[in-house]
Amino acid sequence: MPPYLLGLRLSGRRVLVVGGGRVAQRRVPALLAADAAVELVAPEVTPSLEDLIVSRGGNGPGRIVWHRRPYRPGDCAGAWLVQALTDDAKVNAAVAAEAEQARVWCVRADDAESSAAWTPASGRVGDTTVGVLAGGDPRHAAGVRDAIVDGLRDGTLEARHHRRKPVGVALVGGGPGDPGLITVRGRRLLAQADVVVTDRLAPRGLLDELPADTEVIDAAKIPYGRTVTQERINDYLVEHARQGRFVVRLKGGDPFVFGRGFEEVLHCARHGVPVTVVPGVTSAVAVPSAAGIPVTHRGVTQEFHVVSAHAAPDDPASTVDWAALGRSTGTLVLLMAVERMTLIAETLIRYGRSSDTPVAVIQEGTLPGQKALTATLGTVAGEMAAAGIRPPAIVVVGDVVNVAREIDMIRADMGRDP
């Protein structure tokens, strides 16, 4: 007979977990997330469970108490739910028998057919919880669960069947360029948009996935070329939101890292338009990572500085302390620096950086056209010009560039014939 699927509200209720191995390691966090008062009976536990015990001990809901011993008859008394999760079938059978006698639901991890209750493959997206049972087949259940959760996360299910359309404006960070690097929440909101106001650095591949009736407004700001003013972009957001349309402002990277995102939030707030901010993966860290360059590395540097170089070092509009950056030994990540790299390199050298400091330049990071070159602070401007480097590109200055070179040398050595 098919089981009866039920959502248990366990807040403050005692749940007994017998066993401290890998199955318990998966189950206990979900019980704690449900605010259950978990009592764990096991002679030993995994390191992850021990960490939970230390951090979530004490009294009240959402806590865990460890009884460091084997199971004993009587442990099920007072429990609302029991989980028999040891690797000993006899122990699990004894726990299940005691729970059955006490009329307490018990889940046996080792024997679905002998288990009074099954734990569904579950997932949560926003305020929606999905639970799937597949006749006791956990792999099949997990596969179906994943398909449903993925559809909810990327918005494809919700876009077709939504009942509660979001309101106002969502300011969504699209990540460094690869469509797969947008957050799941950002992708879900994008699929529900009536209007998308997008810039040139946003993951444009996602626009092809939008419903045909979604209006897409190009708000590109092309360096030294065509541009849409920030004021006009602000107006787009308010105008469409006031018409009752859900607007997604899709920006590259993170909207609050040199993205003028907060200006858009302020404009909407002044006009009474609600705004949801969805952070994005900033290209300042993601692009060096995509090129195999860590911005920090133990024994090399404990700091990194992210700098907008849209204003040259000698420009009165620049607020960057170039003298401090020249003296620093930390990694420098320079955005919008391609056109000004000659002056930037000269300035950093003048203030103390060695002309031999390693530099990497990554163009179109995370995208199929990604390419990178390595140079030194003294040679980088000339090498960029010779290679035809153009925006968008990220410049990384510091010894972490040599860390990436070490990886390349190791791989080259491994590929050589013995």
Q: Which domains does the chain possess?
A: 14-119 (3.40.50.720), 159-280 (3.40.1010.10), 285-407 (3.30.950.10)
> What is the per-residue burial (b if ≥16 Cβ within 10 Å, else e) of 123-134?
bebeeeebbbbb
> Residue 401 carries which side chain, given as an amino acid letter?
V
More confident residue, 381 or 406: 381
Under 8 Å between Cβ of 278 and 172 = yes
> Residue 223 carries which side chain, given as an amino acid letter?
P
- Please indicate whether residue 199 is annotated as part of the active site: yes
Residue in 178, 199, 251, 254 annotated catalytic? 199
Q: What's the mean pLDDT when you consider all of the chain?
A: 90
pLDDT at 316: 93
pLDDT at 244: 95
Under 8 Å between Cβ of 20 and 45 = yes
pTM over 0.85: no
DSSP character string of 311-330 = S-TT-TT----HHHHHH--S
Using one digit for the tens of pLDDT, what is the confidence trace for 369-394?
Answer: 899 999 999 999 999 999 999 988 99
More confident residue, 346 or 54: 346
Residue in 221, 314, 399, 408 annotated catalytic? 221
> Residue 108 carries which side chain, given as an amino acid letter?
R
Token reading at 158: 């919700």
* Helices 230-242 and 261-270, axial angle in degrees (round to 10): 40
Token reading at 294: 């860590």
pLDDT at 150: 79
d(CA 291, CA 412): 16
Using one digit for the tens of pLDDT, what is the confidence trace for 282-305?
Answer: 999 999 999 999 999 999 999 999
More confident residue, 296 or 139: 296
More confident residue, 406 or 354: 354
Confidence check: pLDDT of 155 > 70? no
| Closest alpha carbon to 182 in 90, 267, 254 | 254
pLDDT at 162: 55
Using one digit for the tens of pLDDT, what is the confidence trace for 206-263?
Answer: 888 888 889 999 887 655 555 788 999 999 999 999 999 999 999 999 999 998 999 9
